[in-house]
Amino acid sequence: MPTEARDILLRQLDTAWMLAQYHLDGLTTEECLWRPAHVGLHVHRAVDGRWRADWPEHEGYDIGPPSIAWLTWHIGFWWSMALDHSFGAATLMREDVAWPGDAESVRERLGRLQSSWRAAVEALDDDDLRSPQRTRWPFPDRPFADVLAWANVELMKNAAEIGYARFLYGVRAR
């Protein structure tokens, strides 16, 4: 059953996803692991072989710019959390989400998350969008439409950050 609000949010998601895909297409693992500054959020391979992401203690500018690996981890983190806490068991935690380890796996993971998220949103109606029943993360007890709008903004923001980092990588001193 089509709903005007859901359809608007889906079109916004599609626009944000197109920008994300633009910046993910051709992305290399080398670009992902490149650090644009000597400090900034990044991923690190743990003893168990999994890639773990830094977590900021604050969001001040002095923490430095994140790497593309961290940005792609971050998209996977919040999308996985939103899916699990809105449509699943609501048991996933940040520590459960690792970076996939290479650019191709990043594209595959984010593509799966986008498809799962879009399918879940397509099944919603106006009552679902107004209800806080599914809104357990990242801000409980608000209408679920707020989560959808937030996810769209978060995707657009992260996509733009990836694009900016790719521009910096493209002109880095060699």
Residue 19 belongs to some domain of the structure: yes
Residue 77 belongs to some domain of the structure: yes
Cβ neighbours of residue 129 closer than 8 Å, sequence gap 6 or more = 3, 5, 6, 9, 143, 144, 145, 148
Residue 96 belongs to some domain of the structure: yes
The C-alpha atoms of residue 6 and residue 4 are separated, in whole angstroms, by 6
DSSP one-letter code for 95: G
Residue 58 belongs to some domain of the structure: no
What pLDDT score does 3 carry?
Answer: 75
What pLDDT score does 112 carry?
Answer: 98
Domain range holding 106? Answer: 4-50+64-170
Phi/psi of residue 51, each to 5°?
A: -90, 120
Cβ neighbours of residue 170 closer than 8 Å, sequence gap 6 or more = none
Measuring CA to CA, how many Å separate 164 from each of 8, 26, 67, 121, 138?
27, 15, 11, 29, 26
Segments of the chain with pLDDT less than 70 = 1-2, 174
Prediction pTM value: 0.96
Residue 34 belongs to some domain of the structure: yes
Residue 87 belongs to some domain of the structure: yes
Residue 117 belongs to some domain of the structure: yes
What pLDDT score does 83 carry?
Answer: 98
Q: How many domains does the chain have?
A: 1
What pLDDT score does 121 carry?
Answer: 97
DSSP element (H, E) containing 31: helix 29-33
The C-alpha atoms of residue 173 and residue 44 are separated, in whole angstroms, by 24
CATH number of domain containing 160 = 1.20.120.450
pLDDT single digits (tens) 123-161: 999 999 999 999 999 999 999 999 999 999 999 999 999
CB atoms within 10 A of CB 9: 20
The C-alpha atoms of residue 3 and residue 46 are separated, in whole angstroms, by 45
Residue 59 belongs to some domain of the structure: no
The C-alpha atoms of residue 122 and residue 105 are separated, in whole angstroms, by 26
